[in-house]
Amino acid sequence: MTPDRDAQAAPRRLRSVVRAMIWATVPVLLLVQLLASAGVEATSFWSQIRQLDARIARTAESRAELIAEPLWKMRYDQVTGVLNEIMHDETIAAAAVYDDTGAAIARVVARPSDQVAEISRPIRYSNGNIAVQAGRIAIAYSYAPVYADTGGRLMLLLVVGVLATLATVVALRISANIFIGKPLAAIMSAIQRSKQDGRAYPAEISSPNEFGQLAQAFNAMQHTTSGALDRLGHMASHDPLTGLPNRRSLSERLVTLSGDAGSPDSLIAFCFIDLDDFKGINDTFGHDAGDRFLVHISERLREAVEPQDWVARLGGDEFVVIRPEVSNAAAAQAFARELLDAISEPIRLHDKQVAPRASIGLAVRRAGDPELSHLPALADIALYHAKSKAPGTVAVLDEALQRDYRRRRDLELAIPAGFAEGQFEVWYQGQIDLESQGVVGLEALIRWRHPEHGVIGPGEFLPLVERSGNNARLTRYVLTDACRALQHLAAAGRPDIRIAINLPPSELADHSLAAELRATCARFDVAASSLELEITEGSLINNIASASETLQRLRRLGATIALDDFGTGYSSLAHLRRFPLDRVKIDKAFISEIPDSAEDKAIVGVIASLAGTLGLTLVAEGIERAEQAAAMREMGVTLGQGYLYHRPQPLRDVLQWLEGQAVPESRVVAESPSIAPEFAA
Amino acid sequence: MTIFLRIWLAAGMACAVLAPPGHIVAADAKALNIVFVSPGKTGEVYWDMVAQTMQAAGRKLDAHVEVLTSERNYRIMQELGYGVVARADKPDFLILSNEESAAVPILEAAEAAGVKTLLLSNTLIGEDAKRLGPPRAKLATWLGDITTDLQTAGARMANALIATARAEKWQSPDGKIHILGIGGDEITPASIARNAGLKLAVDAAPDVVVDRMLYANWTQSEAEQVTANYLSWAARKEIRPAGVWAGNDPMALGALRAITAAGLVPGRNIEVVGLNWSEDALREIKAGRLLLSDGGHFLLGGWSIVLLRDYADGCDFADASPRVEARTSAITRDNLASVGDLIKTRRFDRIDFTRFRAKAGRCGRYDFSLDALISSLARADGAGE
């Protein structure tokens, strides 16, 4: 929106060069004209003033000549007559003749005037015998006519100047429009058209002047630009490695998809393909080989599809195949499976056979579906399901998947609110000394009391918490709650009960965990030795050095370290030896079939004997029946946990439950090997 | 008419009875037919008087004088002149006055027609004089001219003024006697001559200054105006005006009026002189306001008839000179009584023109002085009245 507005605002701010020229020229033109006129007029004015002075002087002199005789001969009536004659001159305001005694002989006042100059000339009389000054003539005259004349001409010059300027403006405008405006408009229009559809339009100017040259240069540039644009366009919409259309093309493709389909009811199959463990191939064979691998895959996909199908690489190991018309959902699934088969053909990389494996999320929609643009997201939901539940298969998007997806989305979005509103609750499940049947510990288990979805188990929301980067926060939440619970337990007279906390893998890499744990314990005045930290084998493997260091620190504080879910993952015996562990919790998968499954009994037996050798305390999880408990006891498992004894409960309920339990003998605590003297400090 | 006839008869009888034996009026001499084309207007004093003296002389000297008046229109004057020249019955003499040089074409026409001409008062001047030369040279029929010596008249007037001022000690603070001159115009010979007379007299008197020579077109009103202007100017210049010299009587009278208006008393602290012997001037002389009036040149009319009578009778005035100059004379309070009445009444028949004819053997020598006139009147007075 903003760039659009800018693009529209720009032409509005634009001031045409023609107008700018006129604005730049006209004031100067007008000023020069006016100044020149004023200058000329001023010169003319002074010249007129001088001429008037001269004329009046001449008049005075000529009148003096005419008057000399009648004045000398005392024909004063004639003097007055001569004087009166000059009054026809409208510049003359008054005139007077004085005789040789200075007496005014004749005086004529024609018109009163303000701007009056006066000139006086002697009147000399001479005849054959004498030459005398008979008197003098004085003439007062006005500059008013000159002023009026000059004013009038100035006004005229002003009008003429303005008219001339106007004419110049018009001429300038017309010629500038023809010689500048039109060529510019032609080039501008070519640019606009080129902008609209991306093709290079030439500006049609044939004049031989600078604009003609400009247009030629512009057209040449358009030509080169169009080639570059084509290449850019292809690059922008295609993956350079495989030559397949890219994610951007997918967006465009989605827009035109419904139009390409035959009818609104025809079905579109959208396959979202993700290679499984492509990272492993990259790590194993190097990135060049990885790239070759991707090219192979893309070629296979190309070969596997029909001409009407469309294949794109979205980036990394993600591909999309769209079949614009399938008969039904089954056909779409068959098509997807064909694709999987094509991918799965072994490939030789560095003389080694590699069997590619991929998961496909399939979404099928009607061409008339208004949410066609959501197809990638929908297929991605299915793909997520496939990858998490059954990698290397095709998952078809159905209602359930969508529901799951929406629930996940909801929960993920609700995590911050969950923290803020205290929706996360810590429940506790008791750990029982299988020998004494006394409660020796509690495992802190997180629950989410969601306002809409009710109480949610950690299996569902922990991955979401981890994905949203809230692991540390949740861990500290649990830690704090556990410390508070220890306080309550101590208050209830059961300071002997320990509380176990699950540490997610990311926490093991956090060096500040140990310090925080100590601070929290100090805050609640509980001993760190009352805390047990449960970790999984997976979290150890990912970061062996860091995890080992963190564990050492925690153990030095006095906390007990337990390896959770042992037996399901690597079950590495080396791990048991290398890491500072106190306890091993046998996964409930091995317990559930006991005592019926001889195999499970054998495995548990081996683990138990191994733990015994390594000095590790064993905990059996998921004990639901008494005979399971008995079997465990027989095999040397010390502690048990499960519904047989206690279901997880909020602390309040746990405290009540504990009241009904017998206090175990202190022996159990004393026997705990976790409190090794060398680590207690 | 009866009065006129009676006078005419009385004069005729007087002439017949009293004609001295020395005077030749040949009984057989034929009557002359003379035409005078006057440049003046009917009622114009000078030219009227010229014509009247002409006619009075004609009656005395057996000449019929026909007077044609051109009413101050020189075209009319010329047409009248041409008409006279073209007549079948041509006159014996044609008298013209070359005012504004308008008479020259008539002179030439008369030459062509063989009519004898005499110029009166104004003769040829300037180019015309050069071109046509003296009388009886190129124009054989142009017998000559009779004029007055107006320059002497002007000088005489000025001298009278100066003498009075000196006697009365009318000097200005600068020790000089200041005089105003009023001329008729600056171009007619009659005016120029008078003005020259003034200048002549003043030049000879180092204690006299003519402050201004003003021109008043011969008229009283303009003279009054310029005199008034002069007096006020003189007052501003702290000049004591001693006298006004006027080129003719009307201008002198105008000056008198201005002087009176300025609070001065003419005849007591300022003097005015004029020229023309006009009735009004004589009245002012009698009243003591005007010092004198020079003149008498209207008598040229009579004198011209005398000349032509003598010429016709064989006593050619050109024997002395074809150019006859008659002197003017001043009328003052002293001689006013003798001629005042003549002028007032214009009874020119009282003048015995026969007495002025040239004596035999002295052709061209005439005494046209005031004394001669007075003496010619004295008897006539006694006889006539």
- Lookup: tokens for B275: 């020229």
The neighbour count for residue A402, using CB atoms within 10 Å, is 14
| pLDDT reported for residue A88 | 85
Q: Does B212 touch chain A (CB under 8 A)?
A: yes
**pLDDT tops 50 at residue A349:** yes
Q: Which of A64-73, B263-272, B339-348 reaches the highest mean pLDDT?
A: B263-272
Q: Where are the alpha helices (DSSP H) in A422-457?
A: none
Residue with tokens 């063989």, as numbered in its chain:
B114
Which range has highest mean pLDDT (A4-18, A247-261, A567-581, B41-55)?
A: B41-55
Of B212, B232, B237, the CB nearest to A73: B212
pLDDT band for position B233 (50/70/90)? very high
Query: Which of the residue ranges A360-374, A659-673, B357-371 has the most confident prediction, judged by mean pLDDT?
Result: B357-371
Residue in chain B closest to A105 (alpha carbons) equals B229
pLDDT above 70 as % of chain B: 90
Under an 8 A CB cutoff, do B226 and A72 touch?
no
pLDDT digits (tens, 9 = 90+) for B20-33: 444 444 445 689 99
> Which of helix, strand or coil describes residue B81?
helix
The three-point CA angle B205-B207-B230 to 5° equals: 105
Q: What is the pLDDT of residues B298-354, one digit of tens each?
A: 999 999 999 999 999 999 999 999 999 998 889 999 889 888 888 888 889 999 999
Helix (H, G, I), strand (E, B) or coil at B230: helix
Closest CA in chain A for residue B226? A74
Q: Which of A612-621, B76-85, B201-210, B345-354 has the lowest mean pLDDT?
A: A612-621
pLDDT range class, residue A680, cuts 50, 70, 90: very low
Q: Report the alpha-carbon distance of residue A188 to residue B15 in Å, rounded.
A: 137
Position A672 pLDDT exceeds 50: no
CA distance A40 to chain B (A): 51
Q: What is the pLDDT of residues A176-212, one digit of tens each?
A: 888 887 888 888 888 888 888 767 788 887 778 888 8
Q: Is A352 on the interface with B (CB under 8 A)?
A: no
Q: Mean pLDDT throughout A317-338?
A: 88
Residue B8, pLDDT > 90, answer no
Closest to B68 in 3D by CA, of B54, B46, B51:
B51
Note whether B215 contacts A: Cβ–Cβ < 8 A.
yes
Pick the residue from chain A with its C-alpha nearest to B221.
Answer: A75
- What tens digit of pLDDT does each residue of B293-311 get? 998 889 999 999 999 999 9
**Do A73 and B215 lie within an 8 Å CB cutoff?**
yes
Which residue of chain A is at minimal alpha-carbon distance from B228?
A: A74
Query: What per-residue confidence (pLDDT) applies to A83?
Result: 87
Instruction: Tell me which of A229 and A287 has the higher pLDDT.
Output: A287
| Mean pLDDT in residue range B165-189 | 92
Q: Which of B187, B226, B244 to mutate to test the interface with A (most CBs of A within 10 A)?
A: B226
Asked if the model's pLDDT at residue A229 lies above 50, the reply is yes
pLDDT higher than 70, residue A52: yes
Q: Which residues contact B58 (CB under 8 A, 6 or more apart)?
A: B32, B34, B64, B65, B305
Q: Give backbone dihedrals phi and psi of A340, rounded to 5 degrees, phi first.
A: -60, -45
Query: Is residue B108 pLDDT above 80, yes or no?
Result: yes
Structure confidence at residue B383 (pLDDT): 40
Q: Give the pLDDT mean for A546-573.
A: 82
Give how far A113 is from chain B: nearest CA, Å.
31
β strands within A110-161, DSSP E:
116-126, 131-142
Cβ-contact A618, A639 below 8 angstroms? yes
> Inter-chain contact B214–A74, Cβ cutoff 8 Å?
yes
* pLDDT tens string A364-403: 888 887 777 788 888 888 888 888 888 888 888 888 888 8
Nearest one of A341, A253, A276, A274 to A304, comparing CA atoms: A341
pLDDT of B2 over the 70 cut: no
- pLDDT bracket for residue A261 (50, 70, 90): low
Residue A681 predicted with pLDDT over 60:
no
In the predicted model, is pLDDT for residue B1 greater than 50? no
User: pTM for this structure?
Assistant: 0.49
Instruction: Tell whether the model's pLDDT for residue A644 goes beyond 90.
Output: no
Question: Is any Cβ of chain B less than 8 angstroms from the Cβ of A74?
Answer: yes
pLDDT band of A6, cuts 50, 70, 90: very low
Residue from A135, A129, A138, A139 nearest A72 by CA: A135
Q: How confident is the model at residue A10 (pLDDT cuts 50, 70, 90)?
A: very low
Structure tokens at B74: 């020189």
SS3 B292: strand
Contacts of B202 in chain A (CB under 8 A): none
**H or E element that contains B242:** strand B241-246
Q: What is the mean pLDDT of chain B?
A: 88
Q: Under a CB-based contact definition with an 8 Å cutoff, are residues B331 and B338 in contact?
A: no
Evaluate if residue B69 carries a pLDDT over 50: yes
Question: Using the beta-carbon criterion (under 8 Å), do A74 and B237 form an inter-chain contact?
Answer: no
Q: Do B170 and B270 touch, CB atoms closer than 8 A?
A: yes
Find the mean pLDDT for residues A64-81.
89
pLDDT of residue A165: 85
Q: Is the pLDDT of residue A539 over 80?
A: no
Q: What is the pLDDT of residue A592?
A: 83
Q: Residue A9: what pLDDT? A: 42
